[in-house]
Structure 1
Amino acid sequence: MTTQDVPSEETVELFTNPNSRYFNRELSWIEFNRRVIEEAFDVRNPLLERIKFLSIWASNLDEFFMIRVSGIKQQISAGVQKLSRDGATPTEQLHHIRQALLPLLVQERDLLLNDLLPSLREQHIHLYNYDNLNRQQKDWLRTYYQQQIFPVLTPLAFDSSRPFPFISNLSLNLAVVIRDRDKGELFARVKVPEVLPRLIALPQELCEVVHDQPAGRQACFVWIEQAIAAHLDLLFPGVEIVEHYPFRVVRNADMEIEEDEANDLLETIEQGVRQRRFGEVVRLTIDSSMPERIATILSTNLKIESNDIYTVRGPLGLADLFNLYRLDRPDLKDPPYVPVVPLVLQNNSDIFETIRGGDILLHHPYHSFSPVIDFIHAAAEDPHVLAIKQTLYRVGSNSPIVRALMHARELGKQVTAVVELKARFDEENNIVWARALERAGVHVVYGLVGLKVHAKLALVVRQEADRLRCYAHLGTGNYNATTARIYTDLGLFTCREDITADVVELFNSLTAYGRRDQYRKLLVAPVTMRHRLLAMIEREMQRQATTGNGRIIIKVNALVDRQMIDALYRASKAGVQIDLIVRGMCALRPGLPGVSENIRVRSIIGPFLEHHRIYYFGNGGEPEIYLGSADLMERNLDRRVEELFPVEDPALARYVRKTMLDTYLNDNTRAHVLHANGTYERRTPGEDEPVDSQVPAWMLGE
């Protein structure tokens, strides 16, 4: 199969409404994930990079079912028949989602079984099926099973005296049919423990011998579920093992927290995380060998319909393939890139003096994240610093930022951390860090009732001479040193008084009862952001009418807010030239005559996850540029605390416009252009010079 086979234009057109001015949000998301798996098809990518993209596709799909599909099913259960943007009912959306995914899952399996696994074997990386093991390998595996796996397993029977066992979210299981001489045929479930490696590594000496390969380049694995299946006789002694089949469950994981009724938000979130694994089943994946009678037992007891069952060939739960990416095979990966520290911060003994000399823009992952950590460390150590305030959304499991904040408190600084406990799938990490910060004496605030705090802000208050000066870091990404190496993000160091004054007042709104309706420089959601963005779009329409040079460039992760889409449509009809760089979901339909013929949409997919948001308005030759973490979605504009911050330094503004945005718009290597019928076409250099927006010109010394 070639990359041209993905996407399938016919599939997309069949499940979109050509008469609608909006694309269906869920189908648009599927199109995004289609672009992700296209990277796994692309033979221009190194082999382990292709494996990585396949695992990301699978992980994304799990989250899609846990959140988006579960939300639609909840609408149906509640009798809600609200139409989607393209006029589909919830029931129709579920049908469209399934029809769009089925051919992609077939392509996924063809890719894995007919391309990636054979290619791995050619590189002496083997994922053995148990039946293909030799006697020596089977003997070793039996011993490994007895010592490392068997003690952890708990088989659960299902009969008249024992209820059907609970199947936890994202769990891989074996449905086992046994025959007892007294009781006849029985059913049991064996859960594959998540605490054990999914891929069991065989000793090097048991791998297929390749004499011309250096040590360490060979690797061979066995799927743990096959190892368990091969030794069911030890788990069920004295009975006959009739048959066994793997299956996997995805449940609703979208927690709903009634904050108004929660006396302790921390405790409530903890309870919600524990309850997540008990949500209703939204997807059951089974092996193609499973007979209908076993599938019926599962579907009946899991209380799902046939349309919730997805049948595939080969191993389930492909997100676990990411473990292969950790192999020490640099020859099968993209060349590593070592982030650099900007010249202005190199050999820097006083970061505060450097910031006073002018704004500093960091462009991750090309720039190192270490200056951000150093900023907080310097504030902790500086005797003139009085206070540090910071928002924390997704900080990761081993956060140097959080440790720096605790160190600052130990040194007597007043430290405030606004920890967003409702950061989906990061709740547990954030609970751990919130408690650690509280134990260190940090003032911990859990955000606002009804709003997620998604803004990325750090503030340092410093005594200088006879006055207090504030220093701020404003970012588009999380304060997470791990993701900063793989997400593209921007961060601004500044001590501009009008910006830092806004940051001070925004923190006051987050930690107390104060509310502001206006800010000097920042665009703040849900207060001013929507209104100001709409006003700037309107201004470009006026510029177009008077001078003919209306211009808008927006780079976001998602564009689904109807009011914003309609405003862009009006601007397009007025003649404003609009370029949208939307990585994921895009409900706006470009190229519609009389509606959006002046709008162009592209998506950038590559080794780094495009994460930063940029809003550029031409303003008649005096452009305004805003950066931040806010997408054009209702949740960001109306139900989250977000901030967009201006780029006011002329040199930095030129960098964002000319070096970054122009490169994105000229990308002919990673860009996928959206057409009016919903299909994406990947740009190729052809006879032109290749332009890769994930290798910026400044990296090449230009």
Structure 2
Amino acid sequence: MSQKLGFLPTLPSLLIAPGIPIIHRDLSWLQFNERVLNEAREQSNPVLERVKFLAISQSNLDEFFMIRYASLARSIQTLSRTNPEKAERTSEIRDSVLESVAQFTGRQADTLELLAAELDTKGIQVVRGANPGESGFFAGETVFREQILPLLTVPAPFRFSELIDLENLQSAVIFKNDRWTKLPKSMPGVYLAPHDAGVFVFFLDDLVLTHLDPSFGAVGILRLTKDGDFSIDLEEEDPENIPDVVRSGIGKRDKGRAVRLQYFGAFEDAFFTEALRTLKLQPGQLMTAAGSLFLQSLWTMVNQCPESVMAAHPHLKNAPLESRIPRLFERSEEIFEEIRHADILLHHPYDSFDAFVKYLQMACVDPQVRSIEQTVYRMDALSPMIDSLKTAAKTKKVVVVIELRARFDELNNLRLADDLKKAGVEVHFGFGKLKLHAKIVLITREEKDATGVLNEVQYTHISTGNYNAATARLYTDLAVFTAHKEVGADARLFFDAVVQEQVPSSFKYFVAAPTRLHRRLIAHIEQEARAAKAGNKARIVAKVNALVDLEVIDKLYQASQAGVQIDLIVRGACSLIPGIQGLSENIRVISVVDRFLEHSRIYYFANARAIYLCSADWMPRNFFSRLELAFKISDPFVYRYIEEVVIPIFLSDVVKARELTPLGTWKKRTVTGAKANFSPFLKNLFKGLPLRSQFLFEELARRGYAGTPLAEKPRASEMKKAGLGESQSPAPLE
């Protein structure tokens, strides 16, 4: 079903230049969240997977208001003083956003009703507003009495001026006699109560209003969202003071201005009038709950559904993914030899992230390894990598560069930094105004060459995703292990620069933001355009999470007009509008929302014969406000695999992919159009299988990549057995 834009693409505020339309990034992002919600309504998905997507749609929306809507509101406030005309146009965007969100909230509520009805047939009863004698009432009363009531404080006098004192995303119960009580943020939003025939599911807000003693006169529950975005400039800070500066900055998240007020219950209009006036909110920022204020907590149902219910209904969830760990990751000497021989590509989660964890653990105890250097943006708090790095620090040089300002992971990263420092790890931080977003590990190992002379060999791992074992099971990412000297030299330059709090710039295989990445992409796009005009091969394929940079969009439009065929795989916000005659008719945009969160970034330029893996999306913040790395693929087998297999599989998806139309709507794709992306080899390989990209990647990994360029690579151990002597890496692509 197509999604309406909810605005006219010809609004002056939406133009790069007269006649060049874009979709406003926030409206485009709301379309993405609609695609997430559509997965919650998709009957072919197992019902608990659908519940998961409903929860994700709400947590996404919470973050949208904290970050994007808050930014929009700040822009209007600033522009009203400096550029009233632009402030008015931006206000139109804000109004469109609020209207779209109101409609979206209604669809969330409808989706909850649909899911509750289906869950009921599986022994999972979502209980709301139950009366005495109705199913689940007494179980809910027990949950309330034992798990909720002991945590509630005595109602205190209520003043509208104190609403702003609520923490970000905190809720409060409002009573008739001008009293209120705040609900601790630590309280679960969803509770489960197993019974003989299945399990009851309760929402916190419903339990409170249903089972709180009527004499208290509870009217309803409010939930306040605040501006949660804040920037911390470390330009002038002493490295020793950085953790304290970041700690003090985190508190700003609960002290920001109000951006949304949600409610559950029956409030008087006069109450809301005064609440909005006090909080300085527009009427559109007051929103009724989509069935509950705690949809985001439905993860509890997904993760804690009783085994008895799962056994009685075995298809409530997707079958667990059987991630593959290549055998060569079992022995230290073998894995280093294989990497010396040829680059290794892993596609997570189909290739298990445990392969990287094993690699790092082996390096940490390998006596030949002299140093380990790693960046960290997000790392799970219980990661086994932490203990390995701490152990390694006893015998080797271990350097970890941590970005303390990773949004919502600041406290975790502060604890990690402190833990590693105490163990003797050399810890450095992101610096200045730039967030360190690059994902790279450099291992230096002492090895004998063919003549018996000891040399240092550098092993580089670079990834599109975080070194986080928890999210690596849920996100799709690409990572490369390589021992190429030039790449190792680039990695050495990178770490030498960042530990000195300098921005690295001059590389052979890396391209860094904020210094060169944006210019390099523009140059590549212009080169493809020149090639197309000259009648030569020209094509651009980019897979990113967001495309909102106006200069890049303008250059893509120009390349389309020059005849370049452009395919864009954009998971989230995409401001570019494809298929407009005379402007973007050679551009196609698809988005894939499926079981795993698409997170890998791939840039492909056919005329330049260049493929990059990157940590950066095509957004101004990635180009100019973060330290990012793009890695040019040098291994010919990996290059061919991405060009001949990965890209065509994404472009073939007709099950979970949606295509952006010239009208700014999203539609399902046709099988005929998608199959055109398949070579005869791929058609034969996947004969009879559904054209669903994530399913096909899972199948490839299960087959050990048989029939693909990755399988054509002779292994170092195989060459030794064949008596071919010391293996050599293939010549890198220039």
Please say whether Structure 1 and Structure 2 have the same fold, judged by a TM-score greater than 0.5.
Answer: yes
From 5, 9, 19, the equivalent of 2:4 is 9
In structure 1, the residue corresponding to 2:694 is in which secondary structure?
Answer: coil
Give deviations 1:33-57, integer Å, cap 9, x for gaps.
1111111111111111111111111
TM-score by length of 2: 0.86
Partner of residue 493, structure 2: 505
Distance change >3 Å, CA 137–CA 26, structure 1 → 2: closer
Answering whether residue 435 of structure 2 is matched by residue 444 of structure 1, we say no
Q: How big is the shift at 1:106? A: 1.3
Give the residue type in structure 1 aligned to 2:700: W
Between the aligned partners of 1:371 and 1:627, the Cα distance in structure 2 is 19
Give deviations 1:231-282, integer Å, cap 9, x for gaps.
4339xxxxx4334212211111001224345552211111222231121110
CA contact (8 A) 1:518 1:527 kept: no
CA contact (8 A) 1:385 1:413 kept: yes
Q: How big is the shift at 1:611? A: 0.4
Partner of residue 603, structure 2: 615
Distance change >3 Å, CA 244–CA 450, structure 1 → 2: same
Between the aligned partners of 2:164 and 2:552, the Cα distance in structure 1 is 47
CA contact (8 A) 1:12 1:678 kept: no
Residues 677-692 of structure 1 correspond to what in structure 2 (within 5 A)? Answer: 677-685=663-671, 690-692=690-692
Residues 512-551 of structure 1 correspond to what in structure 2 (within 5 A)? Answer: 512-513=500-501, 516-551=504-539
Partner of residue 721, structure 2: none
Give deviations 1:277-301, integer Å, cap 9, x for gaps.
1211101112363321232343344
Q: How big is the shift at 1:573? A: 1.2
Answering whether residue 385 of structure 2 is matched by residue 401 of structure 1, we say yes
Q: Which moved more, 1:275-284 or 1:188-197?
A: 188-197
Distance change >3 Å, CA 565–CA 261, structure 1 → 2: same
Between the aligned partners of 1:56 and 1:601, the Cα distance in structure 2 is 23
Answering whether residue 231 of structure 2 is matched by residue 256 of structure 1, we say yes
Residues 412-561 of structure 1 correspond to what in structure 2 (within 5 A)? Answer: 412-465=395-448, 466-513=454-501, 516-561=504-549
Distance change >3 Å, CA 250–CA 504, structure 1 → 2: same
Residues 304-453 of structure 1 correspond to what in structure 2 (within 5 A)? Answer: 304-312=281-289, 314-326=291-303, 327=305, 328=307, 329=310, 330-342=314-326, 344-345=328-329, 349-410=333-394, 412-453=395-436
Partner of residue 212, structure 2: 232
Between the aligned partners of 2:206 and 2:102, the Cα distance in structure 1 is 25
Give deviations 1:153-176, integer Å, cap 9, x for gaps.
124423589955722211232211
Between the aligned partners of 2:338 and 2:135, the Cα distance in structure 1 is 64
From 257, 271, 276, the equivalent of 1:280 is 257
Q: How big is the shift at 1:94? A: 1.1
In structure 2, the residue corresponding to 1:202 is in which secondary structure?
Answer: strand
Q: Which moved more, 1:281-290 or 1:625-634?
A: 281-290
In structure 2, the residue corresponding to 1:332 is in which secondary structure?
Answer: coil
From 195, 215, 224, the equivalent of 1:204 is 195
Give the residue type in structure 2 aligned to 1:320: S
Distance change >3 Å, CA 571–CA 193, structure 1 → 2: same
Q: Which moved more, 1:155-164 or 1:95-104?
A: 155-164
Q: How big is the shift at 1:603? A: 0.6
Between the aligned partners of 1:316 and 1:160, the Cα distance in structure 2 is 22
TM-score by length of 1: 0.90
Between the aligned partners of 1:88 and 1:553, the Cα distance in structure 2 is 37
Partner of residue 183, structure 1: none
Distance change >3 Å, CA 577–CA 162, structure 1 → 2: closer
Between the aligned partners of 2:280 and 2:175, the Cα distance in structure 1 is 19
Give the residue type in structure 1 aligned to 2:24: N
Between the aligned partners of 2:189 and 2:227, the Cα distance in structure 1 is 23
Partner of residue 100, structure 1: 100
Q: Which moved more, 1:282-291 or 1:47-56?
A: 282-291
How many residues align? The count is 668
Between the aligned partners of 1:306 and 1:647, the Cα distance in structure 2 is 52
In structure 1, the residue corresponding to 2:167 is in which secondary structure?
Answer: coil
Between the aligned partners of 2:397 and 2:331, the Cα distance in structure 1 is 28
Partner of residue 675, structure 1: 661
Partner of residue 55, structure 2: 55
CA contact (8 A) 2:144 2:208 kept: yes
In structure 2, the residue corresponding to 1:200 is in which secondary structure?
Answer: strand
Partner of residue 74, structure 1: 74
Give the residue type in structure 2 aligned to 1:118: A
Between the aligned partners of 1:348 and 1:460, the Cα distance in structure 2 is 13
In structure 2, the residue corresponding to 1:380 is in which secondary structure?
Answer: helix
Distance change >3 Å, CA 122–CA 436, structure 1 → 2: same
Give the residue type in structure 2 aligned to 1:611: H
Give the residue type in structure 1 aligned to 2:183: V
Give the residue type in structure 2 aligned to 1:286: Y
Structure 1 portions without partners, runs of 5+:
178-185, 210-217, 235-239
Between the aligned partners of 2:637 and 2:163, the Cα distance in structure 1 is 65
Distance change >3 Å, CA 588–CA 82, structure 1 → 2: farther
Between the aligned partners of 1:74 and 1:11, the Cα distance in structure 2 is 22
From 176, 198, 203, the equivalent of 1:223 is 203
Answering whether residue 27 of structure 2 is matched by residue 27 of structure 1, we say yes
Q: How big is the shift at 1:594? A: 1.8
Answering whether residue 279 of structure 2 is matched by residue 302 of structure 1, we say yes
Between the aligned partners of 2:136 and 2:124, the Cα distance in structure 1 is 16
Distance change >3 Å, CA 637–CA 131, structure 1 → 2: same
Q: Which moved more, 1:607-616 or 1:542-551?
A: 542-551
Partner of residue 192, structure 1: 183
Between the aligned partners of 1:425 and 1:145, the Cα distance in structure 2 is 30
In structure 1, the residue corresponding to 2:469 is in which secondary structure?
Answer: coil
Distance change >3 Å, CA 520–CA 165, structure 1 → 2: closer
Q: How big is the shift at 1:404? A: 1.8
Q: How big is the shift at 1:20? A: 4.5
Between the aligned partners of 2:387 and 2:436, the Cα distance in structure 1 is 21
Partner of residue 661, structure 1: 647
Between the aligned partners of 2:531 and 2:422, the Cα distance in structure 1 is 55
Give deviations 1:478-507, integer Å, cap 9, x for gaps.
000011111110110001010110011011
From 688, 698, 701, the equivalent of 2:700 is 698
Between the aligned partners of 1:424 and 1:124, the Cα distance in structure 2 is 38
Give deviations 1:548-568, integer Å, cap 9, x for gaps.
321111111111111111111
CA contact (8 A) 2:160 2:275 kept: no
Distance change >3 Å, CA 192–CA 398, structure 1 → 2: same
Partner of residue 214, structure 1: none
Partner of residue 634, structure 2: 648
Distance change >3 Å, CA 139–CA 23, structure 1 → 2: closer
Answering whether residue 580 of structure 2 is matched by residue 580 of structure 1, we say no
Give the residue type in structure 2 aligned to 1:241: F
Q: How big is the shift at 1:341? A: 1.6
From 229, 240, 244, the equivalent of 1:267 is 244
CA contact (8 A) 2:234 2:431 kept: no
In structure 1, the residue corresponding to 2:219 is in which secondary structure?
Answer: strand
Give deviations 1:421-473, integer Å, cap 9, x for gaps.
11001111111101101111111111121101100000011112322111110
Between the aligned partners of 2:9 and 2:577, the Cα distance in structure 1 is 16
Q: How big is the shift at 1:203? A: 4.3
Give deviations 1:347-375, integer Å, cap 9, x for gaps.
67532112112100000000011121112
What is the percentage of aligned positions where both structures have the same residue? 35
CA contact (8 A) 2:136 2:200 kept: no
Give the residue type in structure 2 aligned to 1:664: F
Partner of residue 180, structure 1: none
Q: How big is the shift at 1:230? A: 3.8
Q: How big is the shift at 1:195? A: 2.6
Between the aligned partners of 2:224 and 2:613, the Cα distance in structure 1 is 39
Give the residue type in structure 2 aligned to 1:335: A
Between the aligned partners of 2:533 and 2:410, the Cα distance in structure 1 is 49
Give deviations 1:114-141, integer Å, cap 9, x for gaps.
x111111111101212424538965555
Q: Which moved more, 1:69-78 or 1:604-613?
A: 69-78
Between the aligned partners of 2:155 and 2:165, the Cα distance in structure 1 is 9
